[in-house]
Amino acid sequence: MNFTWNSFIVGTALILWAVFTPLQAAELNWPIDCIPGKSCRQIGYPDVDGDGRAFNCGYPGYTGHTGTDIGISDTAMDKGVDVFAAADGRVLWVFDGKYDECPNPAEPDCQPPKNNVMGPGLDRGYRVCTRSGPYCKAGRSGRCFWCFDGGNVVVIKHSIRGVFATVYGHLRKVQ
């Protein structure tokens, strides 16, 4: 099954984040209708082994980063760009209702949560968090939660070895 979101297009930028197990290869499809270096910009690749280098020996999105960030131009964003699932999977979470573009920096939904707070079910500022559940890394027990900065987010769980999920952020509804 291939998921597509015809009801969503990219907002201010798209962040695709795949949680990888280090040193395991995974096959993911390009998840956005853009051409790297042309209609997509600011591509930050993962640093899955923490050595400060991406797969191509270039700089990663940031050291220790476990996903690929893909940004698009404002022009492409205004036209609308289709977003596709990088691989088959099951939608775990959908968070919606934040601004596509912040109307001004003082808007509460455009601010970080006070004291950088995180917690199950949090929806403050530009941060949204899942409810508590069995999302802990291997070796940890208990109920955990995930938080995402950026508001309009879809998370898909995959059955690909070495990949837990992809996160699509900064989405907006088609008008």
DSSP string for residues in the chain: ---EEEEEEEEEEEEEEEEEPTT--------BSS-BTTTEEEEEB--TTSSS--TTSS-BSSTT--SEEEEE-HHHHHH--EEE-SSS-EEEEEE--S-SS-S-TTSGGGSPPGGG---TT-EETTEEEPPSBS-PPTT--S-B--EEESSSEEEEE--STTEEEEEEEEEEE--
Give residues with Cβ within 8 angstroms of 56, minimum separation 6: 45
The one-letter amino acid at 89: G
Q: Where do the structural domains in the chain lie, given as residue ranges?
A: 1-96+152-175, 102-150
Q: Residue 21 pLDDT > 50, yes or no?
A: no
Which pLDDT score is estimated for 175?
57
- pLDDT computed for residue 36 by the predictor: 82
For 74-88, what is the mean pLDDT? 84
Question: What does the pLDDT look like over 36-65, one tens digit per residue?
Answer: 878 887 788 888 778 888 877 777 767 777
Q: How confident is the model at residue 174 (pLDDT cuts 50, 70, 90)?
A: low
